[in-house]
Chain A
Amino acid sequence: MRTPRTGVDWFLTFLRLLLLGAATLGVLLFIVQQVYPDNLITRWVNPVSANLTASQFKGLLVSGLTQGAMYGLIALGYSMVYGVLGFINFAHGEVFMAGAMTGMIASNKLDDAGIWESNFLGSLAFVLAVAVATSTLAAIAMEKVAYRPLRNSPRLVLLITSVGMSFFIQNASLVLLGAKSKSYPRAAEWLNGNVGVIDVRGSRLLVIAVAGLSAVALWWLVERTKTGMAMRAVAEDAEIAALMGIKVNRTIVTVFAVGGAMAGVAGILWGLMFRSVTHSTGFLPGIKAFSAAVLGGIGHLGGAMTGGLIIGAAESVGPIVFFEPLGVQGATQLKDAVAFLVLVGVLLIRPSGLFGERLPAEDRV
């Protein structure tokens, strides 16, 4: 049975076509320009637009994927919490920041003691443990203090509480540590040079590898352990999960803890990659990661990771491939816009995200 199309449907279709059209045109122009750098269209539309070499393209892609891997790790936390409690935990970006911040303190302490350089991998493992522990505890504390008392309130109340938590953590960091950006010590030299045949900076490979390992560990936890089974059961139907004998509260705490741990890992990778952290470090990555979680289909973990990679790659590659050929000046400044455009584009075509299943009309926000 078909429902008649309304004006809104036509408008959406029009938007979809517009978006797809612009993207296709951008890519086509990019390809044309790669083949004939000095063609008429390029000269007319944007004479300074980029003509990339393969290694430059690779550089863009790799930098996008590194950034995206971090988004993905953070996105897991948004997605998991949404899965079990049905609200967006806006303070999750600050959980990530807390990990990055304590990692910074720990690594600088190690650096002062001379251990950072002499035993870099050991130090890294230690700092990672510190950051993961902090983020995990922050997430757990947040659940216990702020969200558990509101468990039976409308989801909107939780959402607004999470925005409040986000401000609280940011300001706590501001008061405790000041507004100046603080730096991680420089990573070991072998990470700063380009590595091997693929000629990619070592730290980027490390970021991708650690992110990949963490994602695999999480996958194993969720798919292959009883804890994971409990998490999925609670996510779907907490009452029946309890009927199976699952401790629902404990499982929800576990979800926060695991999401926090992933954010902690992302925090350290952030520190390794970008070195500087401030109290507001969690804001933009948090928003991007949230977008990634929605893009991948909120509640779906593989989707969150994929969404992160897509957003990271899109904001890195997109401006140069889509916008410069279309004649936009200073396109790289539009990278945030590109990230959200990709999100809008995906949602226009698949409203529940790439991997998302349409959720029953429950009380979720």
Chain B
Amino acid sequence: MSRCKLLLRIPMTVLSPLLTMALFAAACNGDGTDDTPTDTVGQPADTMTEDESREDGSENGTSAGSDDMVEATNIEALFFPIFRPEGDLIAEQVREVSGFENTVLLGADGLLSDDFLALPQSEGMYFSGPDLRYGSNTNEATGKTPEAFLVNYERFYDESPSAGFWGHSYDATTILLDAIEAASTVDGDQRLVIDRAGVRQYFDELRNYSGITGSLSCDTFGDCGAQKIAIIHHTDSNDVSASKDNVNYEFAGNAGVRSDDAIQSELPLGDGSLGVVVVVPGEAIQIRSLQIISGDNAPLGLTNERAIRMAVEDFGEIRGFEVEVGPGLDDLCSADGGQAAAQTIVADERVVGVIGTSCSGAAVAAAPLLTEAGITMVSSSNTSPSLTSDLKGNPGENYTRGYYRTAHNDLFQGEAMARFVYESLNLKTAAAIHDGDPYTQGLAEAFANAYRDLGGEIVQIEGISKGDTDMVPVLTSIAAAS
């Protein structure tokens, strides 16, 4: 082949199809952004800072929309309740896609870590998450207040907790230990006999347990959390702690289906249906911590694990028996990681309960294995509705008996975010992005459903894949769909 022909092939192969498409795109929709009306932009709510309010009045009403053309609207809010580093990239690239120039960015607890808040592109974002203003709540088992816990935490670890679920982890652990106490007896040989079914019964009957995170009661499908959500406004990447305290909105959900009457069962709890664990004198009661302790989301899991160890320490012995957590296990924030760790745990028949996982995606795989083995699983930071219920009496697709959690159900978080965006920020069109993980997908959908119910327009819910770097296509797809 001659050199000339070869050279010609470059433009032919690369450019011709692209050029054709570009020409069509230009010819048919030629005036670019001009035909995207901005008349739907509402008045910014008072919680927003001046520089964010959008006053492109000049563009108002210039819509060239002929009748057969779908009216395009700017997307006013974009909710991406995903993790790092994909979240970093969306925040970074969103402004270069036309249609997102003024969009308000919203994240959730998956991104709410000090590391992410320190990134300049996260400035201006809103984040939903557990309401961390615990005031003078007191954990009824240990008598610890949030303040006392934080003092201890800093003394042990030389830093304050870098992610939000420490209170949930602490409460989850003391409830599990209380449950073990309520389900156990010391037999004639001074051995501790723990009834596995009794541990679960304690959770099922839990009402108004006073914890650091508030008052905990378990519903029929394992949701035990206080369900308090706060939304913060992040204004300064150089002052992360100020942003964390900058609560713009708060929301308290009503727990799901349950009877609120306190149940008074006789101790010890349990009917032996799941067997017993016998601990001989000198041995310790075995529980495990299963959290994300490596990688980008390690701050979440490490904080949880530390809180678990502190709760065990504060709780002390159960009927003269020590409690042992053992080395922390890693859920890798993935189904594979959850499954592998669960298999390790069930191989040890002495294990009574597991505090974990950190990530809903890992719980989906770990919960069936653990609960099948009679172990009680309590998560302090899973929030996917699929793991418990839709709060209307229908179990989620990944619900298994023996699974409980002290974290909120994302239906509340989604509703909180939806209400905040629709009612407080007064934004009427929104889109959401998830990464296929049950937590991110569940939350994006919870938000979208609640937002639609309020009367807002959800332009699109799009998925990305973990490991994606170029977010322009997904953002463009959303912008184009509006």
Let me know if chains A and B touch directly in the complex, using CB atoms closer than 8 Å. Answer: yes
Verify if A133 is at the interface (C-beta below 8 Å from B).
no
Q: Is the CB of B88 within 8 A of A183?
A: yes
Q: Is the CB of A355 within 8 A of B9?
A: yes
Of A88-96, A140-148, A308-316, the one contacting chain B is: A308-316
Q: For A316, give its contact among B6, B436, B473 (CB under 8 Å).
A: B473
Chain B residues within an 8 Å CB radius of A347: none
Verify if B4 is at the interface (C-beta below 8 Å from A).
no
CA distance A274 to B467 in the complex (A): 11
Chain A residues within an 8 Å CB radius of B84: 181, 276
Chain B residues within an 8 Å CB radius of A27: 17, 20-21
Residues 1-24 of B, flagged 1 when their CB comes within 8 A of A and 0 if not, give: 000001001100110011011101
Knowing A34-B28, A355-B9, say if A316 contacts B470 (CB, 8 Å). yes
Q: Is the CB of B98 within 8 A of A56?
A: yes
Q: Is the CB of B88 within 8 A of A276?
A: yes
Chain A residues within an 8 Å CB radius of B13: 306, 310, 354
CA distance A49 to B480 in the complex (A): 8
Q: For A38, give its contact among B69, B120, B470 (CB under 8 Å).
A: B69
Verify if B97 is at the interface (C-beta below 8 Å from A).
yes
Chain B residues within an 8 Å CB radius of A270: 469
Of B175-183, B184-192, B202-210, B291-299, the one contacting chain A is: B291-299
Q: Is the CB of B22 within 8 A of A37?
A: no
Q: Is the CB of B477 within 8 A of A31?
A: no
Verify if B36 is at the interface (C-beta below 8 Å from A).
yes
Q: Is the CB of B68 within 8 A of A38?
A: yes
Q: Is the CB of B473 within 8 A of A34?
A: no
Q: Is the CB of B476 within 8 A of A56?
A: yes
Verify if A317 is at the interface (C-beta below 8 Å from B).
yes
Chain A residues within an 8 Å CB radius of B10: 302, 306
Verify if A291 is at the interface (C-beta below 8 Å from B).
no
Chain A residues within an 8 Å CB radius of B28: 34-35
Of B45-53, B243-251, B458-466, the one contacting chain A is: B458-466
Chain B residues within an 8 Å CB radius of A186: 119-121
Q: For B92, give its contact among A57, A275, A336 (CB under 8 Å).
A: A275
Q: Is the CB of A53 within 8 A of B32?
A: yes
Knowing A50-B480, A180-B296, say if A57 contacts B470 (CB, 8 Å). no
Q: Is the CB of A320 within 8 A of B17?
A: no
Q: How far apart are B102's CB and chain A's nearest CB, in angstroms?
A: 14
- Identify which of residues 118-134 in chain B touch chain A, using a CB-to-CB cut-off of 8 Å: 119-121
CA distance A292 to B476 in the complex (A): 24
CA distance A63 to B24 in the complex (A): 19
- Identify which of residues 434-482 in chain B touch chain A, using a CB-to-CB cut-off of 8 Å: 436, 460, 462-465, 467-470, 472-474, 476-477, 479-481
Knowing A201-B96, A310-B14, A330-B462, say if A59 contacts B25 (CB, 8 Å). no
Chain B residues within an 8 Å CB radius of A58: 22
Verify if B35 is at the interface (C-beta below 8 Å from A).
yes
Verify if B29 is at the interface (C-beta below 8 Å from A).
yes
Verify if B70 is at the interface (C-beta below 8 Å from A).
yes
CA distance A336 to B474 in the complex (A): 13
Q: Is the CB of A59 within 8 A of B476?
A: yes
Query: Number of A residues whose C-beta is below 8 Å from B?
Result: 63
Chain B residues within an 8 Å CB radius of A181: 84-85, 295-296
The closest CB in chain A to the CB of B12 belongs to: A354
Verify if A48 is at the interface (C-beta below 8 Å from B).
yes
Q: How far apart are B335's CB and chain A's nearest CB, in angstroms?
A: 18
Q: Is the CB of A53 within 8 A of B36?
A: yes
Chain A residues within an 8 Å CB radius of B70: 37-38, 51
Verify if B193 is at the interface (C-beta below 8 Å from A).
no
Chain B residues within an 8 Å CB radius of A330: 462-463
Verify if A161 is at the interface (C-beta below 8 Å from B).
no
Q: How far apart are A67's CB and chain B's nearest CB, in angstroms?
A: 5
CA distance A315 to B460 in the complex (A): 20
CA distance A51 to B33 in the complex (A): 13
Knowing A37-B68, A306-B14, A320-B480, say if A63 contacts B85 (CB, 8 Å). no
CA distance A105 to B156 in the complex (A): 30
Q: Is the CB of A52 within 8 A of B476?
A: yes
Q: For A63, give its contact among B33, B72, B99, B472 (CB under 8 Å).
A: B472
Q: For A333, give its contact among B97, B115, B298, B464 (CB under 8 Å).
A: B464
Q: How far apart are B461's CB and chain A's nearest CB, in angstroms?
A: 9
CA distance A51 to B24 in the complex (A): 11
Residues 251-282 of A, flagged 1 when their CB comes within 8 A of B and 0 if not, give: 00000000000000000001001111010100
Chain A residues within an 8 Å CB radius of B24: 30-31, 34-35
Knowing A53-B36, A54-B29, A336-B465, say if A64 contacts B14 (CB, 8 Å). no
CA distance A348 to B199 in the complex (A): 62
Verify if A137 is at the interface (C-beta below 8 Å from B).
no
Chain A residues within an 8 Å CB radius of B477: 50, 319-320, 324, 331-332
Q: Is the CB of A183 within 8 A of B119?
A: yes
Chain A residues within an 8 Å CB radius of B463: 330, 332-333
Residues 332-343 of A, flagged 1 when their CB comes within 8 A of B and 0 if not, give: 110110000000
The closest CB in chain A to the CB of B297 belongs to: A180
CA distance A280 to B32 in the complex (A): 38
Q: How far apart are A319's CB and chain B's nearest CB, in angstroms?
A: 6
Q: Is the CB of A30 within 8 A of B21?
A: yes
Verify if B89 is at the interface (C-beta below 8 Å from A).
yes
- Identify which of residues 86-140 in chain B touch chain A, using a CB-to-CB cut-off of 8 Å: 88-89, 92-93, 96-99, 115, 119-121
- Identify which of residues 278-320 in chain A touch chain B, using a CB-to-CB cut-off of 8 Å: 278, 280, 284, 302, 306, 309-310, 313, 315-317, 319-320
CA distance A219 to B224 in the complex (A): 65
Chain B residues within an 8 Å CB radius of A200: 96
Verify if B30 is at the interface (C-beta below 8 Å from A).
yes
Q: Is the CB of A60 within 8 A of B476?
A: yes
Chain A residues within an 8 Å CB radius of B26: 54, 57
- Identify which of residues 343-365 in chain A touch chain B, using a CB-to-CB cut-off of 8 Å: 354-355
Q: Is the CB of A53 within 8 A of B98?
A: yes
The closest CB in chain B to the CB of A305 belongs to: B10
Chain A residues within an 8 Å CB radius of B98: 53, 55-56, 59
CA distance A144 to B473 in the complex (A): 41
The 7 A-B pairs at the shortest CB distance, nearest first, are namely A50-B480, A63-B472, A57-B25, A276-B85, A54-B26, A34-B28, A55-B32
Listed by A's residue number, 16 A-B pairs whose Cβ atoms lie within 8 Å are A37-B68, A38-B69, A53-B480, A56-B25, A64-B470, A67-B469, A186-B119, A186-B120, A186-B121, A275-B89, A310-B14, A330-B462, A330-B463, A332-B462, A336-B465, A354-B13
Interface, chain A (partner B; CB < 8 A): 27, 30-31, 34-38, 48-61, 63-64, 66-67, 179-181, 183, 186, 194, 200-201, 204, 270, 273-276, 278, 280, 284, 302, 306, 309-310, 313, 315-317, 319-321, 324, 330-333, 335-336, 354-355
New contact pairs (17) apart from A54-B26, A56-B479, A354-B9, CB-CB < 8 Å: A31-B24, A36-B68, A53-B98, A56-B98, A56-B476, A57-B21, A57-B26, A61-B22, A63-B93, A63-B96, A180-B115, A186-B120, A204-B96, A276-B88, A317-B18, A333-B464, A336-B465
